[in-house]
Homo-oligomer: A and B are copies of this chain.
Amino acid sequence: MRDKQYMIDCGEGTQIRMRQMNVKTNRMGHIFISHLHGDHVFGLIGLISSFGMLNRTADLHIHTPNGLEQILSPQLQFFCEDLPYNVIFHTYDPKKNELIFEDRSVQVFSIPLKHRVPSSGFLFEEKPSDRHIKRDMIDFYNIPTWRIPKIKQGEDFVTDEGEVIANERLTTMPEKPKRYAYCSDTAYSEKLIPIIKDVDLLYHEATFMNDELVRAKNTQHSTAQQAATIALKSNVGKLIIGHFSARYANKNGLLHEAKTVFERTILGEDMKVIEF
């Protein structure tokens, strides 16, 4: 978002995929961990270690439910003793829906999920950006450069003659701030709906198809139909489904099942890039 990178979860092999995709990581300062199951954290130690070999100097922040630092620290001490940068852990409460991080561009909220261990999704809300200035109006009224930041934020301009030029004449609306919600791993839970309502893009896990509804319930996962139902009831722009059980070599059944409920569904696949 806005030229910055945020990582959500870090399974084994994440750094390998990133290298394959030529992802530059110098603008990645924050990693958000949804819950402490291996398939969501086993890639962290390798990533942190490789960042060290690449001589990273910027702090790396890891936002996580309680417990990860105690598990990772012995490995960090043993394998990464001369790390040229700091790894800083921030714990958040996965039972609460609250602001857990913000910077100039974005706010991140936790989304309590329903899983076998404390788990949280993340809602990324872009902050409103400045209004766009109309170049020709600036020239027409001969507006000095130092006034521009305030005008971008919505102020009117007053000429030397005292004439008030309304901000709407000088600027156009900024793009609508984008919202992205990530919900994995979770059983079907309508408690998500008010939190993720109207997001532009929703990632929702869909571990099983609906014929495995009982297994989904027992393991506290969702089916593709359930994921799509949450998307529909939350009125989201698009839905990405993922976290598929290894039993589905072919994912078309999952996609079809979701699309039957919610047409604007995308199959989450390795290395897929989705712009929104």
- Mark A residues whose CB is within 8 Å of B: 12-13, 15-16, 36-38, 42-43, 45-46, 49, 67, 70-71, 74-75, 78-80
Contact = CB atoms under 8 A, between A and B. Distances in A.
A38 B42 contact: no
Contact of A78 (B36, B45, B79, B80): B36
Contacts of A38: 45-46, 49, 79-80
Nearest to A45: B42
Nearest to A17: B13
A161 B42 CA distance: 71
Contacts of A74: 70-71, 74
Contacts of A75: 71, 75
B12 A43 contact: yes
Contact of A15 (B12, B67, B70): B12
Nearest to A44: B42
Nearest to A12: B46
Count of chain copies: 2
Contacts of A12: 12-13, 15-16, 43, 46
Nearest to A246: B19
Main secondary structure of the interface of A (DSSP, over half): helix
A58 to B, nearest CB: 20
Contact of A46 (B36, B42, B67, B70): B42
A71 B49 CA distance: 15
A74 B77 CA distance: 14
A7 to B, nearest CB: 16
A67 B71 CA distance: 16
Among A12, A67, A70, A74, chain B packs the most CB atoms within 10 A around the CB of: A12
Nearest to A36: B78
A97 B70 CA distance: 37
A33 to B, nearest CB: 13
Contacts of A80: 38
A59 to B, nearest CB: 21
Contacts of A46: 12, 38, 42
15 contacts: A12-B16, A12-B43, A12-B46, A13-B13, A36-B78, A36-B79, A37-B79, A38-B46, A42-B45, A42-B79, A67-B78, A70-B74, A71-B75, A74-B74, A75-B75
Contacts of A36: 78-79
A80 B46 CA distance: 19
Given A71-B75, A71-B78, 20 more contacts: A12-B12, A12-B13, A12-B15, A12-B43, A12-B46, A13-B13, A36-B78, A37-B79, A38-B45, A38-B46, A38-B49, A38-B79, A38-B80, A42-B45, A42-B49, A67-B78, A70-B74, A71-B74, A74-B74, A75-B75
